């Protein structure tokens, strides 16, 4: 699974009171004057203006955020004090128009946090987090603005508004009620205190994980490299040199380095060492240990949910999701779990047989799984990951993505003229996206593909500006961010098959943002257990004939992937599904269990161990994200009690893919593609997701298609 859905950094304007004043003595505040702060400046240049990432300095950040928050709150206060009776225009649309300065500043904050983090930024971030929390709580708990929204909601004019306008009012109203606006007195004060504390804890959680990733690097000598692909060896040497370890090879404590090492390294003791370092991030009993933080986060979330009348955080969280209740989400996961673990048992038996044949004299342990799975893949399917990698050149796969987008969406991608759009790192590339038929601009697509120190691990999509047609704002600016290991200078970057899937997955999120026809910032958002659908659906085109034949070319000879290799790849499509599904489901089930129990005196280490034992977790693998580094659950709340979303979306994805399989034109069927764009991509959150899916498919999705896709048995 891949980190993060499309996160548009456009704050939802909901209410207004004053935040506590910033302390002028705080270095995070006084580092730079507000006057002439480039982070506050309107975006200029072509494409409706773009962020000045080349003018980004840490000293400007805190002053810019303070002024942006103050401006937004003042704009909202003006709405509260408007003497005219509340109306859709003077309340709802006025709220949607507010916060323009904040919309411009937050992309800088997001890039500094996710793409360019540093110890200096993290120090400033710790000081900013309480002020940001107070700002958001002030917005969500203003009774005056809420009263105006209620008046608009109850207005006799409601029925005459468009469906999207009605949904906009409904979403804003729900945003208030779900964020504690109806609490009073001590409960309201406690809610605000919980929010501030959670913001600090969640920030600290993420920074602790990043510190363990940056600080734990294994340096190898040449004699310890047996089995590792040459490209990985060269990249590791460059990583070591960059860290002043010339002549050695750096294995960094990030997934982009660990996964290939565990897959290919012959030295079992080194595999175990790397595996233990990676799986113990945030769990080392030191200053970066996250266990106490997890316990407090869970306690505070539970208390906050109960303040609002919910049984648990999960019951509050899922109320406005497609799953609606924790019970429904758990039922789906538990329906898949037995088939997944049964497949793991078979996979382990196959691997053990290979290890025995090699005379290894071992029993399969977690640090052996990827290594011996690769051996089984080679024996059973004659499919070598390194052989496959020779045809997976990053630049060509990017071209393939653009070709798919052209076929399905009618888009054309052209690199922006040099110097016309500022970027925050030389690795970042930018394309202007236009409608191929008319030349009309659709948006900009940014790609930051490579791992670097200070960059968050995993892959994600973000938006610097989202679509909103009601006020004539500029075109969407959408970014994909990955952690591929760059090739040595002058050589093409070759991806693993999993990397290629990640590339297409994140591009699906980007297309979801680019294709939006939502009129408002709020309806341009998404429902978490639905927004993975578009990304997971786009993965299916990676194995389409046009992509394989046109873009999977050998990086040295230029020859297309041989038909017999394609056949082997397709036969291996469901290989290792037990491992992939079980390690994911273990994390998703743990996430839900954490958020449905009373967390009083909960010990995360013991709870994780006990719950996995109760589930019957196979001993040969671990959760995809162990609790102390489970950022989806504890670095923020977007995926908290919501990691099941990938599976929920997987059901929709598999079912939607069968609509293409049933069509005459297959994956490139024009009629189904047009319906997909119109019903699944363009609406964003302007239409209820369940209704949107039924409009596309003509019915609700069923789990059978997912079981077929994974190669699991389907009951008649």
For β-strands 429-435 and 7-8, DSSP reports them as unpaired
Q: Are residues 108 and 170 in the same domain?
A: yes
Q: Are residues 29 and 107 in the same domain?
A: yes
Question: pTM (2 decimals)?
Answer: 0.90
Q: Over range 564-574, report the average pLDDT.
A: 91
Q: Are residues 172 and 260 in the same domain?
A: no
227 assigned to some structural domain: yes
Half-sphere exposure for 596 (CA within 13 Å, toward CB): 17
3-state helix, strand, coil in the chain (%, to 5): 55, 5, 35
| Residue 212 contacts residue 253 (beta carbons within 8 Å) | yes
Q: Are residues 105 and 188 in the same domain?
A: yes
Q: Rounded to 10 degrees, what is the CA torsion of 536, 539, 544, 549?
A: 170
| pLDDT of the residue at 9 | 30
118 assigned to some structural domain: yes
Q: Are residues 267 and 192 in the same domain?
A: no
Question: Which strands make up the sheet holding 460-465, listed edge to edge?
Answer: 7-8, 460-465, 477-484, 441-450, 429-435, 411-415
Q: Are residues 34 and 73 in the same domain?
A: yes
Closest among 110, 82, 113 to 98, alpha carbons compared = 82
36 assigned to some structural domain: yes
Q: Are residues 182 and 224 in the same domain?
A: no
* Two tokens, residue 198: 């959670």
CA distances, 54 to each of 115, 423, 562 (Å): 14, 6, 44
Say if residue 367's pLDDT is above 50: yes
113 assigned to some structural domain: yes
pLDDT band at 267 (very low <50, low <70, confident <90, very high): very high
* Residue where a domain terminates, one of 182, 209, 236: 209
Q: Running DSSP on this structure, what letter comes out for residue 85?
A: P
Say if residue 684's pLDDT is above 60: yes
Q: Are residues 134 and 241 in the same domain?
A: no
328 assigned to some structural domain: no
506 given a catalytic annotation: yes
27 assigned to some structural domain: yes
Better pLDDT: 231 or 432 = 432
Say if residue 13's pLDDT is above 70: no
Task: Check the CA dihedral 243-500-206-333 and report its sign.
Answer: negative
Tally Cβ neighbours within 10 Å of residue 691: 12
* Two tokens, residue 384: 């070598």
Say if residue 20's pLDDT is above 70: no
Q: Are residues 39 and 24 in the same domain?
A: yes
pLDDT band at 711 (very low <50, low <70, confident <90, very high): confident
DSSP for 251-275, written as a single string: E-SSHHHHHHHHHH---HHHHHHHH
Task: Measure the N-to-C terminal CA separation of the chain; round to a whole number of Å.
Answer: 29
DSSP for 347-402, written as a single string: HHHHHHHHHHHTT------GGGHHHHHHHHHHHHH---HHHHHTT-BHHHHHHHHH
* Two tokens, residue 676: 């997909």
Lowest mean pLDDT among 15-29, 30-44, 108-122, 446-460: 15-29
| pLDDT of the residue at 22 | 46
Half-sphere exposure for 549 (CA within 13 Å, toward CB): 4
- Residues 475, 128: Cα–Cα separation, whole Å: 30
Closest among 501, 3, 583 to 279, alpha carbons compared = 583
- Residues 33, 4: Cα–Cα separation, whole Å: 34
- Residue 489's contacts (CB-CB under 8 Å, 6 or more residues apart) are none
The model's pLDDT over 84-114, given as tens digits with 9 standing for 90+, comes to 999 999 999 999 999 999 999 999 999 999 9
| pLDDT of the residue at 35 | 64
Task: Check the CA dihedral 132-199-466-458 and report its sign.
Answer: positive
pLDDT band at 473 (very low <50, low <70, confident <90, very high): confident
Task: Specify the 3-state DSSP secondary structure of 231.
Answer: helix
* Residue where a domain terminates, one of 279, 294, 314: 279
The model's pLDDT over 404-426, given as tens digits with 9 standing for 90+, comes to 999 999 999 999 999 999 999 99
Q: Are residues 52 and 176 in the same domain?
A: yes
* Residue where a domain terminates, one of 279, 309, 326: 279
242 assigned to some structural domain: yes
List Cβ<8 Å contacts ≥24 apart for 484-489: 484/256, 484/394, 484/449, 484/450, 484/451, 485/232, 485/235, 485/256, 485/257, 485/260, 485/450, 485/451, 486/235, 486/427, 486/449, 486/450, 486/451, 487/231, 487/234, 487/235, 488/231, 488/234, 488/235, 488/238
Say if residue 123's pLDDT is above 90: yes
* Two tokens, residue 310: 């919910």
137 assigned to some structural domain: yes
Domain count, the chain: 2
Say if residue 580's pLDDT is above 50: yes
Q: Which residue has the tokens 């922006």?
A: 416
Say if residue 68's pLDDT is above 70: yes
| pLDDT of the residue at 34 | 57
Q: Are residues 145 and 241 in the same domain?
A: no
Lowest mean pLDDT among 6-15, 166-175, 333-342, 551-560: 6-15
CATH number at residue 31: 1.10.1370.40
- Residue 313's contacts (CB-CB under 8 Å, 6 or more residues apart) are 298, 301, 302, 304, 305, 595, 596, 640, 641
Q: Are residues 203 and 240 in the same domain?
A: no
Catalytic residue among 164, 506, 539, 583: 506
The model's pLDDT over 596-647, given as tens digits with 9 standing for 90+, comes to 999 999 999 999 999 999 999 999 999 999 999 999 999 999 899 999 999 9
**Domain, as residue range, for 254:** 216-279
| pLDDT of the residue at 490 | 86
- Residues 131, 22: Cα–Cα separation, whole Å: 8
């Amino acid at each position: 699974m891949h980190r993060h859905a499309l996160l548009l950094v456009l704050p939802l304007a909901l209410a207004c009171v004053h935040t506590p004043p910033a302390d002028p003595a705080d270095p995070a505040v006084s580092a730079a004057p507000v006057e002439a702060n480039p982070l506050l400046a309107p975006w200029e240049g072509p494409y409706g203006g773009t962020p000045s990432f080349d003018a980004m300095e840490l000293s400007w950040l805190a002053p810019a955020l303070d002024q942006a928050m103050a401006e937004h709150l003042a704009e909202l206060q003006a709405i509260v004090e408007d003497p005219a009776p509340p109306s859709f225009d003077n309340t709802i649309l006025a709220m949607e128009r507010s916060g323009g300065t904040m919309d411009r500043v937050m992309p800088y904050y997001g890039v500094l946090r996710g793409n360019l983090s540093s110890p200096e930024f993290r120090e400033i971030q710790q000081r900013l987090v309480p002020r940001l929390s107070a700002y958001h709580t002030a917005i969500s708990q203003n009774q005056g603005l809420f009263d105006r929204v209620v008046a608009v909601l109850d207005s006799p004019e409601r029925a005459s508004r468009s469906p999207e306008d009605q949904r906009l009012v409904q979403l804003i109203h729900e945003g208030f009620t779900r964020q504690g606006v109806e609490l009073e007195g001590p409960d309201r004060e406690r809610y605000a205190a919980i929010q501030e504390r959670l913001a600090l804890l969640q920030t600290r959680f993420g920074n602790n994980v990043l510190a363990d990733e940056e600080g734990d690097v294994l340096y190898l000598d040449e004699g310890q490299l047996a089995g590792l692909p040459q490209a990985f060896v060269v990249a590791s040497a460059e990583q070591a040199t960059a860290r002043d370890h010339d002549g050695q090879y750096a294995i960094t404590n990030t997934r982009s380095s660990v996964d290939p090492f565990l897959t290919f390294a012959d030295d079992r003791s080194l595999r175990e060492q790397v595996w233990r370092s990676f799986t113990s991030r945030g769990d080392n009993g030191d200053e970066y240990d996250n266990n106490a933080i997890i316990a407090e986060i869970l306690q505070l979330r539970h208390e906050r949910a109960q303040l609002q009348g919910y049984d648990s955080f999960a019951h509050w969280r899922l109320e406005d999701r497609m799953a609606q209740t924790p019970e429904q989400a758990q039922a789906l996961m538990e329906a898949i779990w037995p088939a997944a673990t049964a497949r793991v048992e078979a996979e382990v038996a196959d691997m053990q047989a290979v290890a025995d044949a090699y005379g290894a004299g071992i029993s399969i342990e977690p640090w052996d799984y990827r290594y011996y799975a690769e051996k089984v893949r080679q024996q059973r399917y004659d499919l070598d990951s390194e052989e496959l990698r020779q045809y997976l050149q990053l630049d060509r796969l990017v071209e393939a993505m653009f070709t798919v987008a052209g076929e399905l969406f009618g888009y054309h991608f052209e690199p922006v003229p040099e110097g016309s759009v500022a970027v925050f790192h030389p690795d970042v590339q930018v394309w202007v996206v236009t409608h191929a038929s008319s030349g009309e601009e659709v948006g900009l697509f940014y790609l930051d593909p490579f791992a670097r120190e200070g960059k968050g691990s995993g892959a994600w999509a973000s938006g610097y500006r989202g679509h909103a047609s009601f006020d004539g704002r500029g075109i969407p600016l959408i970014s994909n961010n990955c952690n591929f290991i760059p090739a040595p200078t002058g050589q093409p970057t070759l991806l693993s098959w999993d990397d290629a899937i990640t590339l297409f997955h994140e591009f699906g999120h980007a297309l979801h943002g680019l294709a939006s026809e939502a009129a408002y910032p709020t309806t341009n958002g998404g429902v978490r257990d639905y927004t993975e659908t578009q990304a997971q659906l786009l993965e299916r085109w990676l194995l389409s004939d046009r992509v394989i034949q046109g873009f999977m070319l050998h990086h040295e000879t230029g020859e297309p992937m041989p038909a017999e290799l394609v056949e082997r790849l397709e036969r291996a499509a469901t290989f290792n599904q037990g491992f992939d599904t079980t390690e994911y489901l273990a994390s998703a089930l743990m996430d839900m269990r954490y958020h449905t129990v009373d967390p009083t005196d909960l010990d995360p280490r013991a709870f994780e161990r006990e719950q996995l034992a109760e589930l019957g977790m196979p001993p040969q693998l671990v959760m995809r994200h162990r609790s102390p580094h489970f950022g989806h659950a504890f670095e923020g709340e977007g995926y908290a009690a919501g990691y099941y979303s990938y599976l929920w979306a997987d059901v929709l994805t598999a079912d939607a893919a069968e609509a293409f399989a049933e069509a005459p034109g297959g994956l490139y069927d024009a009629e189904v593609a047009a319906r997909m764009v119109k019903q699944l991509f363009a609406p964003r959150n302007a239409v209820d997701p369940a209704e949107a899916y039924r409009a596309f498919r003509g019915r609700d999705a069923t789990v059978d298609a997912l079981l077929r896709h994974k190669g699991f048995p389907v009951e008649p």
